[in-house]
Structure formats: C-alpha cells, structure tokens
C-alpha cells in the first residue's frame, strides 16, 4: 500500500485548481442511468470512489468510458440486476443507486452500503422517503430489496436534512406521477448541482439549495453534457494547509458562498483572505490563533468533512478550541494519530478539547478515513521533521493527486509504494 513521506516545515506559495466535487460527481453518475441516452460528465476527478461508482454502473450493464478528463455513460443496455457486489460495501454513495434504479426499473436490490467508517450512518430516512413514494422495502440478510409498481408524488418531511436521503428522494421522484415536495431538505450545494443536471435532462426540479425541494414528475429524460461544481472540501483542505504552514496561495474554482463557514473560521485564525470571483487568496504567517469553538452542522453550517483538517489546524495553533462533531459518531479517528505527533487533544463523546501546542513533530501515522487522512497530511506538512502517512487508499477515495498539487505549492511530499 502507498504511503506519503513528508518533510514538514515548508511554506506554501502559488495557485491551485480545485477538482470537481466528489459528492456531486458520485450522485450525477448514479443519476446517469435515469435515461437510456448518453450522459457525459466533464472534468471528473480521478479518485477511487468514482471508479467504484463506475464499476457499479457497469455491473448494471451500462457502458462507462473515461476520455478527455470526463466520463460518458450509455445505459441503453442496462438491465434490472441486483447491485449486490463487494463494491456497494466499499462505497456509501452506492445507496443513491436505489433512487435511480427504482425510477428506471421499478425494482432494486442493493447490499447495505459502506464508505468511511465514521459511525452508524443509517439509511432510515432514505427508506422512509422511498416508502412515501410507494416503494415497498425489505431488509434481508444485509440486502435492501425495493419494489415499486408505480411511483407517486408525495409530501415528504425529513426529520433531519440528510444529504443522501434528499438526493435519493429526488432521484426516485423525477419520473413519479404528480408532484413531490421535500421539506426540511438538505441545502448542500451539491443538491443544487444535481437539480441543474436533472433539469438539463428534462426533469422539473426546483428549490434545491433551500429547505423545500419540489419535483414535478416528467415522462421522459434525455441525455446531456454537464460540468459539475468544484469541490469545496478539497478547496478548504488547501486553504487550511496554507493557514497551518504559512505562505500565500490562491485556490481557484470555488464560490465564496459554498465555503463561507470555513472562511469565517480562517479569519479567526488571523489569516488574511481576499476573494476575486472564484479565486480565494489566503495569506498566513504560519502561526494561527485557535478558534474558540467549532461545531459541525448541515450546510450552510461548518462542514463535517472539514472537521478533521480543522482539528489539525487547532492542534498547532495558539490557544484552545472546543470542537463539536454533530453529524457523525466516530469521526475522531485522526486524534490518536495527531497525539503521536505531539498534539494535546482530549475527546469526550462528540467533543474534542484541542490545546494548541505551536508545533507538532514528525511521526509515522495511519489514515483511518478520507478526511482524517487529509488532516494527518496537513499536520505532517506543518510539523518539524519527517513523517510518514500510511494507508493512502482512504485519501485516494476523494483527492485527485493531493501530493502533486501540494508539491506544486512547495510542500515536500512524495508517494512511495510499499
């Protein structure tokens, strides 16, 4: 398995382009089987989650081709097949296939989804929404079996604004009879991207990005070309890297409103932020001040996917930070590794008390999940001495060429195979 070898202590300078959003591309790929016509998604990141999703589409009989940085899906020959391979266990987003496969074939069978081990991640809200649309669901030996003679529009109120449940209900209702209204829907920008994509295919979806999404069922959907939004989490990871290491970088491609919660926090860290259209400039002296309090929340609150990286930042900051993780139960697996690097962090339930120590020292650490792996990489970049970050397969799920982009900014990081 690959690992990073990182020599810490270098400032970062230069420009970095942001990849397309992982969480958008994955749901768009799931949506591509809603039509028999060809769908092209441009500028697709080369990450293992995307490759796994493509494999799932191929298992259904779709033709999936990567060319010129994009992917084309033709699912004319796709058939009603059980999605019960090992792939669904590796990829949480495979659960989106339920909505789109049900719309296409009125039947879906999928093994219980996996993904990062960051807590229970139940799918009760997905199933609740699907049932409201007329789907009969059954959980059998780790499989979810769904059948729908017909899909009928409904009013669906979510108890919690789950991103995946909102997206799945949209996918299951685009061709349902009548109107579906989702209230307390998730407001993440990736849902807006899904709406734009579906509308380009001929769907009638409105309200995404607010807490009420309205889907008027249509009879047919057709093929399209689409360029997804950029990855606000990848962008945030680079901004936090600069805040920790010091220097001056420009992160290109991300809209300010998609990353506003992080920008507020980085100002508290005494970083200087300047924005021109979709270019975010950050300057840091490499001696950040702690955030007093960070609490992860559904969008537009502080994203859970940047929590681990902010743990690293506060570990090297001046002062103390109380960080509360509200979304996932076990999302502190990076903490014991940061402690190996000299961090002073105490975790109780979902709250971490991080006392900044100024500087961490190099160590061999292991990434246990995607964002935790990114957090350890940042910690190593800012630490004194050499570190090894093991188990890059987690990082490779969501970052396309992380080490190449960091090297281009002046970091001393290289990938070696075991």
Rounded CA gap, 230 and 254, in Å? 6
- Nearest approach, Cβ of 164 to ligand UD1 (angstroms)? 3
| Residue selected from 92, 230, 333, 350 as contacting ligand UD1 according to rule CB under 6 A | 92
Residue listed under structure tokens 């001495």? 385
Q: Would you count residue 89 as binding ligand UD1 (CB under 6 A)?
A: no
Residue nearer to ligand UD1 on the CB measure, 79 or 139? 139
Residue nearer to ligand UD1 on the CB measure, 238 or 328? 328
| Residue selected from 162, 224, 367, 377 as contacting ligand UD1 according to rule CB under 6 A | 162
- Nearest approach, Cβ of 120 to ligand UD1 (angstroms)? 6
Catalytic residues: 116
| Residue selected from 53, 125, 380, 406 as contacting ligand UD1 according to rule CB under 6 A | 125
Rounded CA gap, 166 and 53, in Å? 19
Q: Would you count residue 349 as binding ligand UD1 (CB under 6 A)?
A: no
Rounded CA gap, 11 and 412, in Å? 10
Residue nearer to ligand UD1 on the CB measure, 113 or 288? 113
Q: Would you count residue 383 as binding ligand UD1 (CB under 6 A)?
A: no
Q: Which of the residues 167 through 196 are near ligand UD1 (CB under 6 A)?
A: 186
How many residues of this chain bind ligand UD1 (CB under 6 A)?
A: 21
Sign of torsion, CA 1 11 404 317?
Answer: positive
Helices of type H across 316-366: 334-340
| Residue selected from 1, 120, 140, 219 as contacting ligand UD1 according to rule CB under 6 A | 120
Cα distances (angstroms) measured from residue 30 to each of 133, 136, 249: 19, 21, 35
| Residue selected from 20, 32, 93, 258 as contacting ligand UD1 according to rule CB under 6 A | 93
Show the tokens assigned to 366.
């292991």
| Residue selected from 3, 11, 126, 265 as contacting ligand UD1 according to rule CB under 6 A | 126
DSSP for 98-136, please give it.
Answer: HHHHHHHHSEEEEEPP----SS----HHHHHHHHHTT-E
Phi-psi sector, 271: left (phi>0), alpha (psi -120 to 50), beta: beta
- Stretches 62-70, 162-170, 308-316, 339-347: which one binds ligand UD1 (CB under 6 A)? 162-170
Rg (CA), the chain: 21
- Stretches 7-15, 120-128, 204-212, 316-324: which one binds ligand UD1 (CB under 6 A)? 120-128
- Nearest approach, Cβ of 313 to ligand UD1 (angstroms)? 18
- Nearest approach, Cβ of 363 to ligand UD1 (angstroms)? 27
| Residue selected from 6, 327, 375, 389 as contacting ligand UD1 according to rule CB under 6 A | 327
- Give the distance, in angstroms, between the CA of residue 48 and the centroid of all CA atoms in the same chain: 13
Helices of type H across 60-207: 86-90, 96-105, 124-132, 163-173, 189-200
- Nearest approach, Cβ of 32 to ligand UD1 (angstroms)? 15
| DSSP code at position 201 | T
| Residue selected from 160, 276, 301, 416 as contacting ligand UD1 according to rule CB under 6 A | 160
Kindly write out the interface string for residues 283-322 of this chain, putting x where it contacts ligand UD1 by CB under 6 A and - elsewhere: ---------------------xx-----------------
Rounded CA gap, 26 and 153, in Å? 25
> Which residue has the CB atom at the shortest distance from ligand UD1?
164
Closest CA to 57 of 38, 172, 68, 67: 38
- Nearest approach, Cβ of 290 to ligand UD1 (angstroms)? 24
Q: Would you count residue 123 as binding ligand UD1 (CB under 6 A)?
A: yes
Rounded CA gap, 117 and 92, in Å? 10
Rounded CA gap, 130 and 2, in Å? 40
Inter-residue contact 34 to 221 (CB < 8 Å):
yes
Contacts with ligand UD1, residue ranges (CB under 6 A): 23, 26, 92-93, 120-126, 160, 162-165, 186, 304-305, 327-328
């Amino acid at each position: 398995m690959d690992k990073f070898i990182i020599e810490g202590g270098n400032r970062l300078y230069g420009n970095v382009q942001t990849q397309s959003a992982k969480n958008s591309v994955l749901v768009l790929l799931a949506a591509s089987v809603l039509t028999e016509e060809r769908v092209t998604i441009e500028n697709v990141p080369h990450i293992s989650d995307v490759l796994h999703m493509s494999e799932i589409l191929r298992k259904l009989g779709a033709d999936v081709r990567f060319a010129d940085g994009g992917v084309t899906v033709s699912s004319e020959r796709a058939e009603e097949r059980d999605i019960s391979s090992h792939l669904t266990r590796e990829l949480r987003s495979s659960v989106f296939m339920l909505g789109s496969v049900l719309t296409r074939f009125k039947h879906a069978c999928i093994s219980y989804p996996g993904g990062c081990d960051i807590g229970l991640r139940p799918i009760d809200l997905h199933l609740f929404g699907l049932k409201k649309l007329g789907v009969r669901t059954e959980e059998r030996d780790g499989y979810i079996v769904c059948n729908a003679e017909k899909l009928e529009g409904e009013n669906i109120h979510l108890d919690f604004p789950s991103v995946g449940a909102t997206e799945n209900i949209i996918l299951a209702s685009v061709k349902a009879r009548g109107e579906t209204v989702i209230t307390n829907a998730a407001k993440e920008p990736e849902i807006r991207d899904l709406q734009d994509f579906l509308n380009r295919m001929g769907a009638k979806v409105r309200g995404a990005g607010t807490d009420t999404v309205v889907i008027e069922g249509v009879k047919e959907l057709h093929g399209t070309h689409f360029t997804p939004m950029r990855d606000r989490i990848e962008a945030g990871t680079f901004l936090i890297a600069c805040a920790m290491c010091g220097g001056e970088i420009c992160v290109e491609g991300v809209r300010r409103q998609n990353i506003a919660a992080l920008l507020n926090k980085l100002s508290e860290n005494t970083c200087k932020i300047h924005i021109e259209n979709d270019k975010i400039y950050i300057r840091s002296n490499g001696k950040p001040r702690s955030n007093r309090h960070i609490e992860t929340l559904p969008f537009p609150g502080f994203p859970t996917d940047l929590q681990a990286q902010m743990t690293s930042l506060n570990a090297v900051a001046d002062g103390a930070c109380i960080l509360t993780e509200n979304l996932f139960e076990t999302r502190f697996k990076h903490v014991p590794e940061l402690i190996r690097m000299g961090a002073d962090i105490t975790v109780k339930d979902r709250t971490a008390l991080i006392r900044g120590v100024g500087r961490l020292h190099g160590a061999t650490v292991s990434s246990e999940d995607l964002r935790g792996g990114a957090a350890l990489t940042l910690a190593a970049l800012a630490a004194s001495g050499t570190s090894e970050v093991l188990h890059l397969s987690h990082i490779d799920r969501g970052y396309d060429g992380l080490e190449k982009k960091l090297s281009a900014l002046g970091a001393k990081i290289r990938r070696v195979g075991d």
